[in-house]
Amino acid sequence: MEQIRLANPADAPFIALLGRVTFTETFGNLFRDVDDLQHYLNTTFAVEKIKNSLEKPNNVYWMASVAGLPVGYAKLKLKSESGFIASHNVSQLQKIYVLKDFLSMKIGRRLQDSLISRAVEHGSDEIWLSVLHTNERAIRFYQKNNFRTVGTHKFKIGKETFDFMAMSKSLVP
């Protein structure tokens, strides 16, 4: 049985582990230096850092589980302005991470629906995200869900520089 629920600080170890595994599954092969990848994983997905993030009022996390096992999570940042969008009433879809073996179950779609519902309830006019320009599966997913490209930017991790697309979706009917 599948469940999606709001996460709480006690979920930090699960979110940290899911983040490490899903990031490595998706992007690990893009790193020439394994130390750069490990440093990023150790800092970005540290349990204490995730716990602190869960406690911030503008961050909302959801956990997805199947048969009681954590298989994914999502993070929404309320009031997260972007240089790509003129509105100041914007939220950011920061993460939707689902273990590879569970992608076919459409858990990412249900997590996204939860994020968008919360952003609408919060009164956001628009929601935006960043996606690696070579992550075709994710780009197709967002395009299918009415996100449009609004810009590009770079992100550096260790020796690697990655090109990202900024995408946005209007939440105003």
- For residues 151 and 84, the answer to whether their CB atoms sit within 8 Å is yes
* Orientation angle between helical segments 12-27 and 34-44, nearest 10 degrees: 150
Write down the pLDDT at residue 88. Answer: 75
Does residue 85 surpass a pLDDT of 90? Answer: no
If phi > 0 it is left, if psi is from -120 to 50 it is alpha, else beta; for residue 90 that is beta
- For 21-46, what is the mean pLDDT? 95
Q: Name the 3-class secondary structure at 49.
A: helix
Reported as a single tens digit per residue, the pLDDT across 100-159 is 999 999 999 999 999 999 999 999 999 999 999 999 999 999 999 999 999 999 999 999
Reported as a single tens digit per residue, the pLDDT across 40-67 is 999 999 999 999 999 999 999 999 999 9
- Please give the Cα distance from 71 to 152 (Å, whole number): 30
Whole-prediction pTM = 0.93
Q: Name the 3-class secondary structure at 92.
A: strand
